[in-house]
Structure 1
């Protein structure tokens, strides 16, 4: 992720519907866990998700391949390190939680990155993963963001299980918005720019994701795929 993209994220993530709801998903998953511990936010960018971890009592550190992202995290008082997701600068079995939201799709060697997630987790430790779903949605938006793939449910399960993790839950997000996303992105010749959203549009999209949260649609095709997995005790 380049410097301009990271700066755009920092400017957007406090108010933008997509980042706000993604932080909400993280917060809800954290509340399902027994107690906080050590955590690493891989591909932390501006540190928005790292802050959520810290707010919930986690001893969280950020790792990013961009020095700009690391500097931004450090400026907010977040412990942060420069590192590649395929070669995390962390000891083995040291983390209770590994977070990788929208990271794996940017890496050709995603199996190496998944293996690193498993390596740094303690036995019984949890991995929370988010990736873009379904190559049928592939568009110029993905190319502009530097993605190399989108994942099916089977793809993601195979990746995580291949790293030695046990998948506990798999669910889709932005199910209700998928038809609109597919139409807009297949018509566009360049990436969608979220900075162009008007406040009324931003609020409408936020309300749609709120409604989706309470509907039994998480197994339906969506735009983003989430997974919760753990490293086995033995």
Structure 2
């Protein structure tokens, strides 16, 4: 991701419905821990996930392949370092939580990145992952974002378990919005996650995403998959 796109993300992510929903999911997951600990945010971009963790009392370390991303994260007060997700510049068994939000789909050797997540987690540590789902949704949007794949529940489970992690839960997001986003992306390839939205449209999407969290839809087909897994021990 180049510096122009990073700056675009930094400008919109505070209010954009998609980024707000991702932060809400992360906040809900970290509440599972009785005591905050050490976390690594892999593919951190501008460090938003790390800042969410810090708000909950965690000590977060951000890692990104892009030096521009590292500089931007540091400008936001995040401890950030340049590094490849396949070869993390981190010690083994060091972290209670590892984030890889919208990262694995960009990596050809995703099994190597998953193995690195398992390596840096403490025994009993948790990984929180998010990926785009369903190759039926593949479009110019994915190409523009530099993705190399979308996942199914089965392929995500195989990746996680192949790294030696124990999969605790997989769930969908974007169920209610799937028909709209599929039509939009196949027609235009528009990168709506980085494009400015009219405030009314942004609020409508935010409310739809918030409603979905309260409905029993997590097993239905959506646009994204989240997974929670633990390192045994």
Shorter-chain TM-score range = over 0.9
Q: Output the CA distance in 1 between the equivalents of 2:226 and 2:159.
A: 13
* CA RMSD after TM alignment: 1.0
Q: Output the CA distance in 1 between the equivalents of 2:91 and 2:38.
A: 12
Normalising by the residue count of structure 2, what TM-score does the alignment of the two structures yield?
0.98
Report what 2:231 is aligned to: 231
Q: Output the CA distance in 1 between the equivalents of 2:40 and 2:193.
A: 29
Say if 2:44 and 2:63, in contact at 8 Å, map to a contact too: yes
CA shift at 1:140, angstroms?
Answer: 0.3
Q: 2:216 is paired with a residue of what secondary structure?
A: coil
Q: Output the CA distance in 2 between the equivalents of 1:186 and 1:73.
A: 33
Report what 2:61 is aligned to: 61
In the TM superposition, what whole-angstrom CA distance separates every residue of 1:90-126 from its partner, at most 9, and x where no partner exists?
0000011000000000000000000000000000000
Q: Output the CA distance in 2 between the equivalents of 1:163 and 1:194.
A: 32
Say if 2:8 and 2:194, in contact at 8 Å, map to a contact too: no
Q: Output the CA distance in 2 between the equivalents of 1:190 and 1:176.
A: 19
What is the total number of aligned residue pairs between the two structures? 233
Report what 2:31 is aligned to: 31
CA shift at 1:2, angstroms?
Answer: 2.0
Q: 1:77 is paired with a residue of what secondary structure?
A: coil
Q: Output the CA distance in 1 between the equivalents of 2:171 and 2:11.
A: 28
Distance 1:163 1:216, change over 3 A: same
Say if 2:12 and 2:196, in contact at 8 Å, map to a contact too: no
Structure 1 segment 1-234 matched on structure 2, within 5 A: 1-192=1-192, 194-233=194-233
Normalising by the residue count of structure 1, what TM-score does the alignment of the two structures yield?
0.97
Distance 1:222 1:193, change over 3 A: closer
Gaps of 5+ in 1: none
Distance 1:120 1:55, change over 3 A: same
Gaps of 5+ in 2: none
Q: Output the CA distance in 2 between the equivalents of 1:19 and 1:177.
A: 15
In the TM superposition, what whole-angstrom CA distance separates every residue of 1:20-77 from its partner, at most 9, and x where no partner exists?
1100000000112221100000011011111000110111110000001101111122
Q: 1:92 is paired with a residue of what secondary structure?
A: coil
